[in-house]
Copies of this chain bind each other. A is one copy, B any other.
Amino acid sequence: MFEKGIKTRVSELFSIKYPIIQGGMIWVACPRLASAVSNSGGLGLLGSGSMRPEDLERAIDEMNSLTEKPWGVNIPLSFKYSKDHIETVIRKGVKIVFTSAGDPTATTERLKKEGIKVAHVVSNVRQAKKAESAGVDCIVAEGYEAGGHNGKDELTTMVLVPQVVSSVKVPVIAAGGIADGKGMLAAFSLGAEGVQIGTRFAISKESCAHENYKRKVIESSDTDTIIIMRKILPTRALKNPFSLRIKKAEEEGVKEDELLSLHGELRAMRGIRDGDLEEGELEVGQVSGMIIDIPSVEEIIKKIVYEYRKIKQKLP
């Protein structure tokens, strides 16, 4: 039976059935995950923030072999390979790019000139206006509850989304704290026309995260995430010996360079890719307490859409 999609400016912009975007998470958003999302009616994004230029090139080829549906690449602009990645996506004919963590002005101009659709992730109204001025097609407003890197202003999805929506004309995708149909309905109530979902897709069969990490997230409860590196680069992760050690140092007023050396490099790789639950950085959103299983991407999307429609009918 033909099942109807959910139509918004975001679903039309990307020509997708449901305005559900899978966050381009490092070490998680591989071709297997992103293609499963696109094949299930959402928009899959490759997470290039953990890829070298040759890795991204290979991942793009793999995506093209796995899906004929629309998909994109997430590029964190602060990443050391971001310039290479911009050239790679252009050369390889990628059609959709989500940028984050940086000034979108120059990259947006470059990408738009090549006919690429561009979204940019923001965490306050000023950044949203700047992204719109840069010419993006759409804005992702990501709240404090989101996993991984986070804005310093700590605006939550509940207050960020309506303020961004009323400040720009382009459509807005809500991110942070959304893992199910209830969250999608709440985001749309606030004026969003799409949702970007990270953690829920990270804990799926197709996600390339380590099984240890997936199981740890399933076991976690509502209060098990914290923000570390609050003054430098706020990052939401599960509590574990590594993150609690960093937090303690921050509370003791340890200086920035000491904190950076205490943090060290490639901690997210160690946690998410390699499954080191003690000394890795287990980036995850506050929704981790709501995640209790490891379904397939198709099951996740079907359930979100079903719940969205059911609850919409029953609103008081």
Q: Are B145 and A188 in contact (CB under 8 A)?
A: no
Q: Are A251 and B222 in contact (CB under 8 A)?
A: no
Q: Are B222 and A290 in contact (CB under 8 A)?
A: no
Residues of B within 8 A of A190 (CB): 182-183, 186
Chain A contact residues (Cβ within 8 angstroms of B): what range? 35 or more
Residues of B within 8 A of A124 (CB): 222-223
A144 sits at the interface (CB 8 A): yes
How does the 8 Å CB contact mask read for A95-126 relative to B, with 1 for contact and 0 for none? 00000000000000000000000000000111
Residues of B within 8 A of A178 (CB): 158
Q: Are A227 and B154 in contact (CB under 8 A)?
A: yes
Nearest B residue (CB) for A166 = B290
Q: How many copies does the complex hold?
A: 2
State the majority secondary structure of interface residues on A. loop
Residues of B within 8 A of A176 (CB): 156, 158
A302 sits at the interface (CB 8 A): no
Known A125-B289, A162-B182; contact A188-B155, beta-carbon cutoff 8 A = no
Cα distance A286–B189 in the bound complex, in angstroms: 18
Nearest B residue (CB) for A153 = B223
A29 sits at the interface (CB 8 A): no
How does the 8 Å CB contact mask read for A110-151 relative to B, with 1 for contact and 0 for none? 000000000000001110000000000000000111000000
Sort A-B residue pairs by CB-CB distance and give the 4 closest, nearest first: A253-B253, A158-B177, A185-B189, A186-B186
- Measured CB to CB, the residues of A under 8 A from B are 6-8, 19, 124-126, 143-145, 153-160, 162-163, 176-178, 180, 182-183, 185-191, 193, 221-223, 227, 231, 251-254, 285-287, 289-290, 311-312, 315-316
**9 chain-A/chain-B pairs, Cβ below 8 angstroms:** A125-B221, A144-B156, A159-B287, A185-B315, A186-B187, A186-B189, A189-B189, A189-B312, A251-B253
